[in-house]
Copies of this chain bind each other. A is one copy, B any other.
Amino acid sequence: MNKPLILVINDDGITAPGIGHLVSVMKELGDVIVVAPNRPQSGMGHAITVGDTLRLKETHIYDGVKAYECSGTPADCVKMARHYVLKDQRQPDVVVSGINHGSNTSISVLYSGTMSAAIEAAIEGTPSIGFSLCDYGGDADFSHALDYVKKITQQVLKKGMPKGVALNVNIPPKRNEPLKGIRVCRQANAKWVEEFDERRDPNGRKYFWMTGNFVNFDKGEDNDEWAIANNYISVVPCQFDLTAHSTIPLLNEDWDILS
């Protein structure tokens, strides 16, 4: 029987420690191919390269693994993997993205390049998982996460995924107590409240750094923020149909300008 083919992507760039860990775990599960950005692409959301060119270069950064660095966004990487690198070839059995350096819980899923790669794979009909470690530190400890990353990927390979669904997996930072396990969650109702740190450049012109505070409005115990705060790994199934279906009958009833 063929080993599964696993496509690995991230948004922190192909040299980030997180993708190195992910490649190591995936090598235990199947044949691995990497197509990842050649530089950090955090916060790129579902951006794609329109009106500009793309570069793709083979690299030998990971032993025994075919790997390419791409000048584009995480979503571009999925498209190039699918429609150029693997064109007319066997397609991946699963696409894994990450392990992101930092949380992608709740509203951050929208801004996340890690999750846009996973969602792009779901659009292509491939089961996919975005993994994020809720620790932004440059020296973040991934050791407690790796067994779970393996288990979750094995589960997806074994059970498949409903069509059009990508998993958003967040892993608590390493704490003094061991992880409590895995919970399926919904996206928490939370958001960022931005602040703009105004400065002057050496020419006296204004510029800004965007900073902000994360505000959680969600009192539930079935959401990803609750899971992380309580030392569980959160698994949120995500879809790319943005239609607010329940709103359609409301508008049809309420609006007086419809045909």
Contacts and interface: CB of A to CB of B under 8 A. Distances in A.
18 contacts: A40-B51, A44-B45, A45-B116, A46-B47, A48-B111, A50-B210, A53-B208, A54-B210, A55-B206, A83-B212, A110-B123, A162-B244, A181-B258, A186-B245, A235-B251, A236-B243, A239-B247, A240-B242
Contacts of A44: 45, 47
Interface of A: 40, 42-51, 53-56, 75-76, 79-80, 82-84, 107, 109-111, 116, 119, 123-124, 151-152, 155, 159, 162, 164-165, 168, 180-187, 189, 191, 193-196, 205-210, 212, 232, 235-245, 247-248, 250-252, 254-259
Given A48-B111, A55-B207, A181-B259, 12 more contacts: A44-B45, A47-B47, A56-B206, A82-B194, A110-B119, A110-B240, A165-B244, A165-B247, A182-B257, A182-B259, A187-B241, A189-B241
Given A244-B165, A258-B184, A45 B46 contact: yes
Contacts of A50: 42-43, 111, 210
Nearest to A207: B53
Q: How many copies does the complex hold?
A: 2
Contact of A195 (B83, B151, B168, B236): B83
